[in-house]
């Protein structure tokens, strides 16, 4: 079991989760218990945060003040195609985790931080556009290692989301196939299936996806996939579930909190 502690600066909320009985869930929990320092503690999506566009433009300005290269800004009418366009700049400027671009290597620390933040904000805005009332919390850690998923592990990938379930977060620079499908993104080049896992995770607090709706999406993806330019032996579509919420919590109560305070793991 582990406890996720959320805070609003005045009060704390304690959420307890039970680890699933799968091999990958226990491997992930072993990583979580390493107590890596928290990195992202305010990545709350569909939380009613209206400052995402303002913050995105702030970080675009920081990059452009260093090198006037991003030729688009965000506004309140931003569409998915605009986010696809902006994300392409992130891919081209950042490079892969294991192979940074020369531009990124030479950039000042402040610019590197803004590039990373642009990516996060784009994904948060994408979630806001795709679905309403599906709040999520993503927690990432500093300097956590990545480990290769085995053939057995990848059998756990799913895109039928269950309310209160914890999923392993995508630990790559690029875009997973499910997001390419949902965003109708024909600009992205860095399409990468998830091949590794780390301690990073996302909790989905939205309603459980009805099974019939899941089957319709599965059919749509099956028909769409063969026509894409990318080809992968294991597309690994979706995310891997590793734990379930066992604390009763009301969404109105949940949204009073806006920061991750700590993670507490029990043996």
The pLDDT tens digits of the residues spanning 56-69 come to: 999 999 999 999 99
Q: Mind listing the pLDDT tens digit for each residue in 230-243?
A: 999 999 999 999 99
Residues 28 and 152 in one domain: yes
Does 189 fall in a domain? yes
Residues 210 and 116 in one domain: no
How many beta carbons lie within 10 A of that of residue 267, not counting itself? 4
Residues 191 and 66 in one domain: no
- Structurally, the chain folds into a number of domains equal to 2
Which of 91, 93, 101, 99 lies closest to 66 in space, CA to CA?
Answer: 93
The parent domain of residue 58 ranges over: 48-130
Compute the distance between CA of residue 69 and CA of residue 63 in angstroms, rounded to an integer.
8
The pLDDT of residue 50:
65
Write the DSSP assignment of 43-93 as a string of letters: EEESS----HHHHHHHHHHHHHHHS--------TT--HHHHHHHHHHHHHH
**Pair 238, 218: CB distance under 8 Å:** no
Q: Which of 113-122, 124-133, 230-239 has the lowest mean pLDDT?
A: 124-133
Q: Mind listing the pLDDT tens digit for each residue in 22-58?
A: 999 999 999 999 999 999 998 898 887 668 889 999 9
Which of 242, 199, 196 lies closest to 35 in space, CA to CA?
Answer: 199
Compute the distance between CA of residue 243 and CA of residue 167 in angstroms, rounded to an integer.
7
* Residue at a domain's end among 68, 99, 130: 130
- Give the residue with greater pLDDT, 85 vs 127: 85
pTM above 0.85, yes or no: no
Does 137 fall in a domain? no
Report the percentage of the chain scoring pLDDT > 90: 72
User: Residue 75 class from Cβ within 10 Å (0-12 exposed, 13-18 middle, 19+ buried)?
Assistant: exposed
Residues 171 and 54 in one domain: no
């Amino acid at each position: 079991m582990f406890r996720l502690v959320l805070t609003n600066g005045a009060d704390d909320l304690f959420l307890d989760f039970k680890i699933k009985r799968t091999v990958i869930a226990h491997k992930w929990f072993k990583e979580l218990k390493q107590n890596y320092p928290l990195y992202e503690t305010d990545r709350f999506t569909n939380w009613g945060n209206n400052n995402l566009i303002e913050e995105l433009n702030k970080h675009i300005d920081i990059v452009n003040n260093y090198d006037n290269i991003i030729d688009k800004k965000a506004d309140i009418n931003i569409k998915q195609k605009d986010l696809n366009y902006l994300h392409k700049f992130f891919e081209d400027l950042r490079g892969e985790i294991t192979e940074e671009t020369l531009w990124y290597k030479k950039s000042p620390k402040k610019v590197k931080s803004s590039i990373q933040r642009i990516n996060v904000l784009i994904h948060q805005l994408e979630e806001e556009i795709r679905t309403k009332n599906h709040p999520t919390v993503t927690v990432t850690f500093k300097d956590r290692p990545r480990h290769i998923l085995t053939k057995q592990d990848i059998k756990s990938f799913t895109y039928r989301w269950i309310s209160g379930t914890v999923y392993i977060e995508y630990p790559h620079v690029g875009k997973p196939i499910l997001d390419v499908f949902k965003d109708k993104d024909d600009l992205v080049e860095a399409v990468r299936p998830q091949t590794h896992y780390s301690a990073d995770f996302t909790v989905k607090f939205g309603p459980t996806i009805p099974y019939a709706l899941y089957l319709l999406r599965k059919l749509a993806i099956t028909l769409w996939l063969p026509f894409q330019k990318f080809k992968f032996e294991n597309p690994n579509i979706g995310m891997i579930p590793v734990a379930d919420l066992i604390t009763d919590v009301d969404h109105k109560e949940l949204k009073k909190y806006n920061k991750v305070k700590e993670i507490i793991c029990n043996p």
